[in-house]
Structures are given as C-alpha cells and as structure tokens.
C-alpha cells in the first residue's frame, strides 16, 4: 500500500478558499434585501464579543495563524495526575478515604487541612502511604513549618506533592492577617524542601478571581501579578529566583466556556515563558493544576453538574495541565458515590477517551491557536498595567483589581438575569421545587 506524503497532499476537486471567500459566501446566504442589511446581520449574529474584549469570528482560516510562531506546549509524559480532594476532619477517616482513592484510580491526593479544629498527626494521616510514589498536596489555611518537619520525620525519602498556601489570595479578600509573616514562612519553606524537586511549596491560585466572576484575561493577568509579587518578596528575603520558579505551582479554576478555558491554560504556558525570560531564568514548564469551578454548580439541579465537570475536565486536559481535581457534583466530598463519579471523570478521559495519548492536541487549530495568542497578549497588557502602577499589593490597596473584577461580574450577572447566558437549573429549566431562581451565582465577591 502506497502512503501519500502528507506535505504534498492535494485535493484538486476542492479549490482553496481564503477568509474573504468564506465571508462572501456567508453574506450571499443571508436572506436580506440589501447589502447593508446583510452586513448588519453578519455583525450582529455571526460575530460576538467575549467578556475578555475579544471578538470571536464565525470561522478561522490559516491566515489567522500565519504570523503566529509554532509553539508546542509541554505536557507530562504520563498525562495529567488525577488529584482527588479529601476533606480532613480526622486522621483515621481521612486515611481510609485516601487509601480507597488510590486503590480506585487516583494518582494524587489533595488533603484539605483547613477545616480541622486541632493539630493533625501526619504519621497517622499518611499511614501506609509513600510520598515518593503518591503525590500529596496539603491545603492549609494557616501554614506552619511544623508540617514540613513532620513530613521529614515520617518520610525522609523524596516527596512528591505541594503545599497549597496562598496568603495573597486572602490578602485580596481582606483576610490577610500578617502578610509579611506569611511570606517569611514561605521563605523558610522553599529552602527546606529544596532537596525534594517534585514537591512545590509556593502555590499561586486564581480561584478567588475566577469565583468572583473574572474574565480569562483578568484571571491570567492577576495570577501573574500575584506570582511576581511573591517573587519580589521572596527574593528580598534571600531566596534565589531560580528556586522560586522551581517551587511554584499554579492552581486555576476551569468552567464550562470550553474553548476559552482550553486557550486560557495554553496562554498561561506562553505567559510563563515570557515571565521566565524577563527574569532571565531557564524556562521550566509551568506546573498547572486545574480545579473544576464552584460558581456554576447549583445545588438546585445537581445532576447537571456532572456534565459541567466533564466539560471542564476535558478543557483542562486539552489545555495541558499537569494535574486536575474534579469535585463531586453535589459538592459533598463525603458522598462516596459523588466522589467516585468525580474521580472517574478523569479516569474515563484517560482510559476510554485517550485524551492523554496526544501532546498538545489543540496545536494547529486555527481558532484555538488564534484565541490562545489573543488571550496571552491581552493578559500581558493588563499584567503590565498592574506592574506599572506599583504591583499586585498596590493594585489591591488602590481598588483597581476590585473595580476590574466588578465590571465583568456585573456584565455576567446581567446576562444571566436576561437569559443571554444560560445556566441550566438556575435561569432556565429551573426545577419546580425551586421557588425563585437565583442570579448571584458567584461564590466570592470582589468587595
């Protein structure tokens, strides 16, 4: 069998078409009397503007990416880690949940220690577990070096995982406590864990932006501003910039705006390369963890949340994350069935849909490549605006970030109220038992 050379494939029965030809054909097919009316319909119905200020075209061609350099985004050789969330209330119960999660297909664990009322004995919590084999991330509200000291005592071998502690996120919401002391702790933690290259002690998250209604551009820009703030503060405390970069994990929320979320994660890879270049740091791949969004998961119609979570997990996988956490459809981590379904979303994408078999599967898509570049460019502009005005902390004090978030939030809530944007179970197809649909769906308020 002769296999044709892909580079020389030709289909003479199909004449090549550029964007002008496609546009002309669409205008011809619009049933209006005058050319002006057709143009009006094209602008109103065929093109739309996103919350990011980007105009989406009805079609994309090779012309749209002709000037874009070909970039392949790095992806983990074994695909993404399926990081299961476990709410820790007691060591024995959480350990049993962790063991069940691992035996059921979880690759990694996210142990939420923020809701504990007393000290946690890590030797009991991590019994029969090896951090060199199963990456464990510890989500804490108040970080202490004692956590790392305990880990060193019970696991002297190499660790995999992270500490999810982002004091700048609390700072924006007005619950910062002593931010300088918090950064002091991070400055102690990074050298402490330097001999564990697969354990990251600086988690920079965008969840608080996303859940407050941020656009993808705002989420990316403010995420980078947060990282740069940490980099400046930590370098002033004597931490080498290369060590700061190597210790960083990004944790982002992903919602159901499918193509936008794919492009958002891809844009973050691009922006990380730009920031690395600006700091003259050898560019390591960005470690990005994705978490399914909370704001769009109404309790009033919980079963639809399984579909939403699947869309979000697909976007995260195609965007190129290193790990993901899919939350239970009813947001109850103690519901065994809901937790199993959440874990299986990621497993099915790997084992049955083969999403991990192709590196950067979005590469070459005219639409996604173009959207990735537009998002990265717009986010970089906003990032630079914040840096020029004094950086992240100053932007919070001046109310700039709050104002920016509120503008987009109001637009999104207005669209939900009018029905322009549909959230099934909230503003359309509302269950009968729900007496009044709610439109303030965002979990966090910018103010």
Q: What is the pLDDT of residues 278-308, one digit of tens each?
A: 999 987 889 999 999 999 998 888 899 999 9
Could you tell me the domains of the chain?
81-370 (3.20.20.240)
Helix H segments across 237-391? Answer: 241-246, 258-278, 304-319, 336-351, 366-388
Question: Which residue blocks in 137-239 are alpha helix, DSSP H?
Answer: 145-154, 167-172, 179-192, 207-210, 216-236
Q: CA 12 to CA 284: how far, in whole Å?
A: 45
d(CA 388, CA 440): 33
* Average of per-residue pLDDT across 132-161: 92
- CB–CB of 206/222 below 8 Å? yes
Is the pLDDT at 140 greater than 50? The verdict is yes
Helix (H, G, I), strand (E, B) or coil at 202: strand
Cβ contacts of 133 within 8 Å, gap of 6 or more: 160
Task: Tell me what percent of the residues of the chain surpass a pLDDT of 90.
Answer: 68
DSSP symbols for 241-258: HHHHHHTEEEEEEE-S-H
Which of 166-170, 281-285, 319-323 holds the top average pLDDT?
319-323
| Residue 71 scores a pLDDT above 80 | no
Mean pLDDT of 224-241: 97
**Angstrom distance (rounded) from CA 144 to CA 148:** 8
Q: With 70 as the cut, is the pLDDT of residue 440 above it?
A: no
Of residues 270, 271, 309, 304, the one with CA closest to residue 290: 309
Confidence of residue 110 (pLDDT cuts 50, 70, 90): very high
**According to the model, what pLDDT value does residue 336 have?**
94
Contact predicate 224/209, CB 8 Å: no
Would you say residue 7 has pLDDT above 70? no
Cα dihedral across residues 420, 421, 426, 432: positive or negative: positive
Query: Do residues 225 and 386 make contact, with C-beta atoms less than 8 angstroms apart?
Result: yes
Q: Kindly report the pTM of this predicted structure.
A: 0.92
Q: Does position 189 have pLDDT exceeding 60, yes or no?
A: yes
Q: Are strands 48-49 and 55-56 parallel, antiparallel or unpaired?
A: antiparallel
Phi and psi based region of residue 320 (left: phi greater than 0; alpha: psi -120 to 50; beta: remaining): left
1 pLDDT band, cuts 50/70/90, is very low
338: helix, strand or coil = helix
pLDDT category of residue 238 using cuts at 50, 70 and 90: very high
Tell me what the pLDDT averaged over the chain comes to. Answer: 90
C-alpha 233/C-alpha 190 separation (Å) is 13
In sequence order, the β-bridge partners of residue 128 are: none
Distance between CA atoms of residues 246 and 283, nearest Å: 9
Q: Which residue has the tokens 């933690």?
A: 189
């Amino acid at each position: 069998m002769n296999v044709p050379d892909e580079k020389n494939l030709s289909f003479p029965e199909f004449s090549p078409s550029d964007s002008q030809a496609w546009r002309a054909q669409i205008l011809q097919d619009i049933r209006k009397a005058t050319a002006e009316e057709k143009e009006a319909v094209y602008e109103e119905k065929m093109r739309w503007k996103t919350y990011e200020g980007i105009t989406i075209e009805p079609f994309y061609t090779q012309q749209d990416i002709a000037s874009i350099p070909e970039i392949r985004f790095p992806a983990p050789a074994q695909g993404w880690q399926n990081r299961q969330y476990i709410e820790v209330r007691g060591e024995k119960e959480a350990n049993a949940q962790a063991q069940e999660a691992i035996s059921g297909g979880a690759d990694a664990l996210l142990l939420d220690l923020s809701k504990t009322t007393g000290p946690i004995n890590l030797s009991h919590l991590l019994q029969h577990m090896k951090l060199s084999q199963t990456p464990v991330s510890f989500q804490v509200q108040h970080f202490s070096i004692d956590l790392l000291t305990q880990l060193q005592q019970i696991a002297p071998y190499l660790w995999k995982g992270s500490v999810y502690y982002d004091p700048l996120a609390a700072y924006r919401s007005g619950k910062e406590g002593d931010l300088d002391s918090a950064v002091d702790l991070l400055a102690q933690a990074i050298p402490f864990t330097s001999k564990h290259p697969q354990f990251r002690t600086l988690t920079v998250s965008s969840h608080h932006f996303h859940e407050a209604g941020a656009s993808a551009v705002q989420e990316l820009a403010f995420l980078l501003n947060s990282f740069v703030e940490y980099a400046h503060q930590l370098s002033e405390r004597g931490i080498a910039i290369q060590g700061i970069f190597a210790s960083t994990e990004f944790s982002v929320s992903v919602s159901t705006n499918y193509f936008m979320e794919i492009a958002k994660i891809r844009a973050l890879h691009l922006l990380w390369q730009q920031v690395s270049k600006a700091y003259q740091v050898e560019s390591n791949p960005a470690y990005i963890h994705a978490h399914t969004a909370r704001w769009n998961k109404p309790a009033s119609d919980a079963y639809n949340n399984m579909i939403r979570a699947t869309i979000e997990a697909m976007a995260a996988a195609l965007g190129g994350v290193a790990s993901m956490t899919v939350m239970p459809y009813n947001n109850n981590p103690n519901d065994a069935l809901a937790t199993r379904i959440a874990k299986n979303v990621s497993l099915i994408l790997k084992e049955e849909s083969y999403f991990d078999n192709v590196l950067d599967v979005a590469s070459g898509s005219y639409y996604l490549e173009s959207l990735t570049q537009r998002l990265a460019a717009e986010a970089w502009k906003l990032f630079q605006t914040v840096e020029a005005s004094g950086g992240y902390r100053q932007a919070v004090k001046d109310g700039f970030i709050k104002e920016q978030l509120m503008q987009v939030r109001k637009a999104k809530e207005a669209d939900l109220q009018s029905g322009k944007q549909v959230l099934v179970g909230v503003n359309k197809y509302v269950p009968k038992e729900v007496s009044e649909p709610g439109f303030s769906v965002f979990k966090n308020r910018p103010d």
